[in-house]
Amino acid sequence: MYALVDCNNFFVSCERVFQPQLEGKAVVVLSNNDGCIVSRSNESKAMGIRMGTPFYQVKHLTESGRLVACSSNYALYGDLSNRVMSILADAVPKIEIYSIDEAYLHLEGIPEKAIPQMCRDLVEKVRRWVGVPVSIGVAPTKTLAKIASHFAKKYKGYRGVCMIDSDVKRLKALELTPIGDVWGIGRRLAPKLQERGVATAADLVRRPARWVRENFNVNTVRTWEELQGRPCVDEEKHERRKTICTSRSFADMITDEAELALRVSDFAAMCAHKLREEDSAAGEVTTFMYTNRFREDLAQYFPYATVRLDVAASSAHEIVGAALKAFRTIYRPGFRYKKAGVVVSGIVASDAIQASMFDFDDELRIRQDRLSKVMDEVNSAGASSSGRPLLRLASQRPGHYADGIRSDYRSRLYTTSLDDIIDVH
């Protein structure tokens, strides 16, 4: 059996931990740059606010006091997520952390009769110790556990825990699950299935495997198997990420080359830092930019360029250098850029870096790696309240505060920022 633990309305719940006055109110959390709605309280869902809604469409509700909006505060959410996960990890033989607000628990060795009470205890413990409400779905496959967790969340009677442990319950649950709510069936496949007469998960499992294979692909066949109660979704292996990306939209459109280069440097430095965090190094660095695709009145340009490194690297100096080199090949004046980003790929373990036969700069690289390591040590002691590292390359953006990314409704960094601790005292 698997148990899927899912934090309810996670980002909103995190904000409420430190702002209990938001309890019972319609609250939303916004994406970066205060662009879209990415988390909603039950009250704001009830008002009909949809996931992904552009914030400006509901901004009037905040002005009239009917809705509270929070800018996203990922440092806070990451911290609370860690606390939740460590409580879960202590309770079971094995845990797979699936996302910031979800984890699969492996329940081998726990008698089936004991599972519901154990899960109810976990719901209670996480609520009391961290302050975040969670729902748990238990079933023989991950896809079914996901469905069970929807029921646990939706119906109060379950008190946070729903278990699918018989065929009768399984088929009942599938009848009540619209096909588009099934894990693995997205916004493209759902209409395609509906056209073919598949409205619910139960409709899908009634079709023969061959029909699924011929009309769709292997992923859909896997989903079909999982819904039958046969595990088919692979274990999440914690391997090295294959790409790492840092990108942002800007509060205002940018035209100036030098200004844009500062942003690209920042993104590249963040990628390099993420690489070092997991002892990786990248062989390729891609820089990309977007103009504002919603402004049909303006000229559009979505360029990208990739620079290959002779030797895989993770130092800020080398990654930033490559990103800027790529940037210079694609920057064109006259466009108004709304977003930019850096992707590092060709990732290898840092202790398995292939030296180039023509690498004459070995000594330099070693010094740059050492320098980045020192920067990490200093920066790990704390950041400014905008989350910017204290030590940066000269090519990165100066200053501590204005970062050109809108976050007008940001909560304090309750658990992580030095400034705020000083401020509190």
Interface residues with DNA (CB under 7 A)?
31-33, 35-36, 38, 52, 54-56, 59, 98-102, 146, 182-190, 217-219, 241-249, 252-253, 274, 292, 294-295, 338-339, 341, 343, 405
Q: Which is nearer to DNA, 248 or 317 (CB)?
A: 248
* Minimum distance from residue 387 beta carbon to DNA (Å): 12
Q: Which is nearer to DNA, 89 or 190 (CB)?
A: 190
C-alpha torsion sign, points 97, 103, 107, 111 = positive
Q: How many CA atoms lie within 13 A of 396 on its CB side?
A: 19
For 364, which DSSP code? H
Q: Which is nearer to DNA, 270 or 365 (CB)?
A: 270
Which residues are registered as beta bridge partners of 141? Answer: none
Q: Which is nearer to DNA, 84 or 185 (CB)?
A: 185
User: Which tokens go with 337?
Assistant: 């850029």
* Minimum distance from residue 31 beta carbon to DNA (Å): 3
* Minimum distance from residue 192 beta carbon to DNA (Å): 8
Q: Which is nearer to DNA, 69 or 365 (CB)?
A: 69
Secondary structure of 113-142 in the HEC alphabet?
HHHHHHHHHHHHHHHHHCCCCEEEEEECCH
* Minimum distance from residue 113 beta carbon to DNA (Å): 29
**Alpha carbon distance 365, 133 (integer Å):** 48
Please check whether residue 10 is in contact with residue 101, taking contact to mean a CB–CB distance below 8 angstroms.
Answer: yes
Q: Which is nearer to DNA, 59 or 373 (CB)?
A: 59
Angle at 244 between CA 239 and CA 245, to 5 degrees: 155
Q: Which is nearer to DNA, 273 or 365 (CB)?
A: 273
**Alpha carbon distance 226, 145 (integer Å):** 10
Q: Which is nearer to DNA, 10 or 414 (CB)?
A: 10
Q: Rounded to 5 degrees, what are φ and ψ at 200?
A: -125, 170
Please check whether residue 232 is in contact with residue 222, taking contact to mean a CB–CB distance below 8 angstroms.
Answer: yes
* Minimum distance from residue 244 beta carbon to DNA (Å): 4
Q: How many CA atoms lie within 13 A of 18 on its CB side?
A: 15
* Minimum distance from residue 309 beta carbon to DNA (Å): 14
* Minimum distance from residue 118 beta carbon to DNA (Å): 23
* Minimum distance from residue 13 beta carbon to DNA (Å): 13
Please check whether residue 181 is in contact with residue 154, taking contact to mean a CB–CB distance below 8 angstroms.
Answer: no
Q: Which is nearer to DNA, 294 or 360 (CB)?
A: 294
**Alpha carbon distance 420, 113 (integer Å):** 47
User: Which tokens go with 339?
Assistant: 């977003």
For 69, which DSSP code? E
Q: Rounded to 5 degrees, what are φ and ψ at 278?
A: -110, 25
* Minimum distance from residue 92 beta carbon to DNA (Å): 20
User: Which tokens go with 402?
Assistant: 């204005």
Strands 27-30 and 280-291: unpaired
* Minimum distance from residue 10 beta carbon to DNA (Å): 8
Q: Which is nearer to DNA, 219 or 255 (CB)?
A: 219
**Alpha carbon distance 4, 226 (integer Å):** 14
Please check whether residue 107 is in contact with residue 2, taking contact to mean a CB–CB distance below 8 angstroms.
Answer: yes
* Minimum distance from residue 33 beta carbon to DNA (Å): 5
Q: Which is nearer to DNA, 134 or 365 (CB)?
A: 134
**Alpha carbon distance 19, 127 (integer Å):** 15
User: Which tokens go with 142?
Assistant: 């991950």
